[in-house]
Amino acid sequence: MPEAGAVAETGRSVRAAVLHEIGSSSLDIRDDIEVAPLTAGKVRIKIKATGVCHSDLSAMNGTIPVPVPAVLGHEGAGEVVEIGAGVTELAVGDHVVVCWSPQCGRCTDCANGKPHLCMTYMMNAFTDAPFLRDGQSVFGMAGAGTFAEDLIVPVDGAIKIDDDVPYDIASLVGCGVMTGVGAVFNAARVEPGSAVLVIGCGGVGISAIQGAKISGAATIVAVDMVEQKLEWAKQFGATHAVTPGQLQSTMGLLTAGAGFDYAFEVVGRSDTIRMAYDNTRRGGTTVVVGVGKADDMVSFSAFELFYGEKTLRGTYYGTANIRRDFPRMLKLWRAGQLDLEGMITRRLKLDDVNDAFTAMQAGDVIRQVITFD
């Protein structure tokens, strides 16, 4: 076993899926990506499973900024195989979930109880490349890059989990589940008996539906235009599932026209944000979970903002305190309240990652998980 701080295995090549250019419709799967030298305060993780999130697609099409070339993937779990100098919180052999927005625990945001807003590591994604190719930097999406066999992250970007949690289940906690359930628990704080609307039933939306059910929502209306998504939404706790065209009459029927107590937009578009806001009751809360384009403007009239007295807010990473919330998600999974197995509708290998984006866009899947042998 290498000593702490040793660089015994760095410099070797790993298989990884690389985005070369923004706007490219596919990732390049190659074997010549080197893991950067392990420096102090970081750990090397052997990735065992990684979910495929819509945000990966959004990095490809330029919605989410990512420096290129970059290894994409940010929803991963694996085993710590090497630790850098000064790392005491983790040891070789630990099982971890990768966190794409590490929380330092020391900055003003962390100290103020808003660790999800921690900026300590944010710019590292653009300056601190975890990979190399021919001596040139290869970045990692959001400072992660889980579409790779090995990955180097700061110790705060890896959260230890129990050894008996399957890696595919653990990987989902790293983004989609934390974000969707966290939007309900932490951002909206949905109360028992509430009427909840969830627009968009992908991995994140289905997680929000599960979170609403756990929170005791009495009515959970799911909206998607894909028929199969509506079926799945009901299996995961939606009391009603409708197409966008059916929403207005459903809202009228279920809330006497008043609107929902909480509405979650889980698509990332101005029109669905508007739809969520319009279907929120006066005094209710609209939560923007989806990540939309920087130039996709949403407009609100000066009068309606006053009159509706609605809370309109975003949620970054499910407003998570990851050291509290990753274990919390897994406790709910163990208790049988959060169905994570059921969310994995397709398993694949890294070589099929481009096909995963096709399936995601066709609406054929909830979550796809890539596993590494």
User: Rounded CA gap, 356 and 27, in Å?
Assistant: 11
Binding mask 207-226 for ligand PAD (x = CB under 6 A): ----------------xxxx
User: Please, what is the minimum distance in Å from the beta carbon of residue 83 to ligand PAD?
Assistant: 28
Q: Which is nearer to Zn ion, 55 or 239 (CB)?
A: 55
Q: What does the longest C-alpha to C-alpha distance in the chain come to?
A: 66
Applying CB under 6 A, does 76 fall inside the site for ligand PAD?
no
User: Please, what is the minimum distance in Å from the beta carbon of residue 87 to ligand PAD?
Assistant: 27
The item of Zn ion, ligand PAD, none sharing an interface with residue 84, based on CB under 5 to 8 Å by kind, is none
Q: Which is nearer to ligand PAD, 256 or 294 (CB)?
A: 294
The item of ligand PAD, Zn ion, none sharing an interface with residue 158, based on CB under 5 to 8 Å by kind, is none
336-341 long-range contacts, CB within 8 A, separation 24+ = 337/210, 337/214, 338/177, 338/181, 338/210, 338/214, 339/210, 339/236, 340/169, 340/172, 340/173, 340/177, 341/169
Q: Which is nearer to Zn ion, 53 or 329 (CB)?
A: 53
Indicate the SS3 state at residue 198.
Answer: strand
Scanning the structure block, which residue is given the tokens 């890896």?
158
How many residues form the binding site for ligand PAD (CB under 6 A)?
A: 32
Question: Considering only residues 42, 48, 95, 229, which one is a binding residue for ligand PAD as defined by CB under 6 A?
Answer: 229
Question: Considering only residues 33, 36, 291, 329, which one is a binding residue for ligand PAD as defined by CB under 6 A?
Answer: 291
The item of Zn ion, ligand PAD, none sharing an interface with residue 110, based on CB under 5 to 8 Å by kind, is none
Chain centre to alpha carbon of residue 319: 11
User: Rounded CA gap, 181 and 58, in Å?
Assistant: 21
Question: Considering only residues 215, 239, 272, 286, which one is a binding residue for ligand PAD as defined by CB under 6 A?
Answer: 272
Applying CB under 6 A, does 95 fall inside the site for ligand PAD?
no
Q: Do residues 4 and 85 touch, judged by C-beta distance below 8 A?
A: yes
As to burial, measured by CB atoms within 10 angstroms (0-12 exposed, 13-18 middle, 19+ buried), residue 137 is: middle
User: Please, what is the minimum distance in Å from the beta carbon of residue 231 to ligand PAD?
Assistant: 12
Q: Which is nearer to ligand PAD, 131 or 317 (CB)?
A: 317
Applying CB under 6 A, does 36 fall inside the site for ligand PAD?
no
Applying CB under 6 A, does 244 fall inside the site for ligand PAD?
yes
Applying CB under 6 A, does 267 fall inside the site for ligand PAD?
yes
Q: Which is nearer to ligand PAD, 120 or 179 (CB)?
A: 179
Applying CB under 6 A, does 289 fall inside the site for ligand PAD?
yes
User: Rounded CA gap, 38 and 151, in Å?
Assistant: 10
User: Packing angle between helix 227-235 and helix 203-214, nearest 10 degrees?
Assistant: 30
Residues that bind Zn ion (CB under 5 A): 53, 55, 175
Applying CB under 6 A, does 368 fall inside the site for ligand PAD?
no
User: Please, what is the minimum distance in Å from the beta carbon of residue 59 to ligand PAD?
Assistant: 9
Q: Which of residues 143-202 bind ligand PAD (CB under 6 A)?
A: 175-176, 179, 199-202
User: Please, what is the minimum distance in Å from the beta carbon of residue 63 to Zn ion?
Assistant: 12
Binding mask 296-335 for ligand PAD (x = CB under 6 A): -------------------xxx------------------
Backbone angles phi, psi at 247, to 5 degrees: -65, -45
CB-based contacts of 158: which residues, under 8 Å, 6+ apart? 43, 45, 80, 90, 94, 96, 97, 98, 99
Q: Do residues 246 and 279 touch, judged by C-beta distance below 8 A?
A: no
- Paired sense of beta strands 195-199 and 260-265, if any: parallel
Q: Cis peptide leading into 69, omega within 30 of 0?
A: yes
Applying CB under 6 A, does 285 fall inside the site for ligand PAD?
no
User: Please, what is the minimum distance in Å from the beta carbon of residue 270 to ligand PAD?
Assistant: 10
Q: Do residues 123 and 102 touch, judged by C-beta distance below 8 A?
A: no
- Rule CB under 6 A: which residues touch ligand PAD? 53-55, 58, 175-176, 179, 199-205, 223-226, 229, 244, 266-268, 272, 289-291, 315-317, 360, 363
